[in-house]
Chain A
Amino acid sequence: MNAAKEALKGDSNTIIQEWVQLYAESMFAWAHYKTADKALAEDLVQDSFLAALQSFDKFKQESSPKTWLFSILNHKIIDHFRKEFRNPVQNEAESGLSFFFNSDGEWYKDRRPQEWPAADTQLLDNPDFRKILEHCMHLLPGSWLAAVSLKYLEQKDGKEICKDLQITPSNFWQILHRAKLQLRACLENNWFKK
């Protein structure tokens, strides 16, 4: 019995090593894009392959290896963001609103939203725009980026994400509010005003 198990383990190890050759590059590109951290992305990809080996018997032939590996990787990325979210740097939570609004809560004159010409989702067809958007996302403080990424990575509704993160809904949307203000201003300054 043990010998049979060992043989199976050897087989799965060989298969996963083949998958490393086939998919490690695109997995690294994805993890690097999501985290903007080379060393972290490498660790996440390595952890994903090790996790794949451990749970190889759960792999169902009907899904493609790539889909399965990417779902493991996405879970690893989400876990990373959850940790980031739980350890926000103190001053991150306090900064944000006072940069855009005066003490009465009104927009500062030079930070008021301007008209965006030709703004629609076709903008993403422009590689220069995508670069700016990604650049602006990665300028967000760690826990803000985590909140934004969790929302779009998981495609869950607000309540579910709050449950997962064990935070209150108001805490979650307040962080998203600050993130969105910063992201909007960054795009305006780096793309729409130019």
Chain B
Amino acid sequence: MKMLKSVLHILLLSCSKATGLIEKELYFRLSPIDKIRLFMHAGICGFCHRYRKHSRLLDRLMIELHHTHQHAQEPAEQDVTALKQRIIDSLEKK
């Protein structure tokens, strides 16, 4: 049984390796062999298939969050008067 498991992991990857490749493919190109192994693994493992969906959604959320936050004119949650004065003092020393 253990033997069969290790052979399956070599052929089809373990979940730990598969999720690693799911992240890798978002940033780098996978080798053809890794692509096939990942395709087969995600085809039979519902959890990693789900992980892939979540990971891609997270990527889109982070990009969106970055854009919306940068362009929104959100005021600071605290008074920055002291900070402004500190910066002006340091500018005056220049």
A interface with B by C-beta (< 8 Å): 13, 16-17, 20-21, 24-26, 28-30, 32-33, 38, 42, 45-46, 49-50, 53, 70, 97, 100-101, 104-107, 112-116, 119-121, 123-124, 130, 133-134, 148, 151-153, 155, 157-159, 169, 172-174, 176-177, 180-181, 183-184, 187-188
In angstroms, Cα B14 to Cα A20, docked, is 54
Residues of B within 8 A of A24 (CB): 80, 83-84, 87
Chain B residues with a Cβ under 8 A of chain A? 5, 9, 14-17, 19-20, 23-24, 27-28, 47, 50-51, 54-55, 57-58, 60-66, 68-70, 73-78, 80, 83-84, 86-88, 90-92, 94
Q: Would you call A25 and B80 a contact (CB within 8 A)?
A: yes
Contacts of B54 in A (CB 8 A): 113, 116, 119, 184, 188
Chain B residues with Cβ under 8 A from A183's Cβ?
A: 58
Residues of B within 8 A of A120 (CB): 57
Contact, CB under 8 Å: B80 / A152: no
Using Cβ atoms and an 8 Å threshold, which residues of chain A touch B60?
A: 121
**Contacting pair A28 B76 (CB below 8 A):** yes
Please indicate the chain B residues that have their CB under 8 angstroms from the CB of A177 in the complex.
Answer: 19-20, 23-24
Contact B14 A106 (CB under 8 A): yes
Assembled-state Cα–Cα distance A116/B55 (Å): 12
Asked, given contacts A105-B15, A173-B20, whether A30 binds B69 with beta carbons under 8 Å apart, the answer is yes
Report A-chain residues with C-beta under 8 Å of the C-beta of B63.
152, 155
18 A-B contacts (beta carbon < 8 Å) = A20-B91, A26-B76, A29-B77, A30-B70, A104-B9, A105-B17, A124-B64, A133-B65, A151-B27, A152-B62, A173-B23, A173-B28, A176-B23, A177-B19, A177-B20, A177-B24, A180-B55, A184-B54
Flag if B76 contacts A184 (CB, 8 Å).
no
Contact A16 B19 (CB under 8 A): no
B70 cross-chain contacts in A, Cβ below 8 A: 30, 70
In the complex, are the beta carbons of B20 and A158 less than 8 A apart? no
Please name the 6 residue pairs, one residue from A and one from B, whose CB atoms are nearest each other, closest first: A105-B14, A158-B27, A105-B16, A101-B16, A29-B76, A177-B23
Min CB gap B1→A, angstroms: 11
B16–A100 touching, CB < 8 Å = yes
CA distance A158 to B24 in the complex (A): 9
Q: Who on chain B is nearest to A153 by CB?
A: B66
Shortest C-beta distance, B65 to chain A (Å), equals: 6
A42 closest partner in B (C-beta):
B83
Minimum distance in angstroms from A166 CB to a CB of chain B: 17
Residues of A within 8 A of B76 (CB): 25-26, 28-29, 32
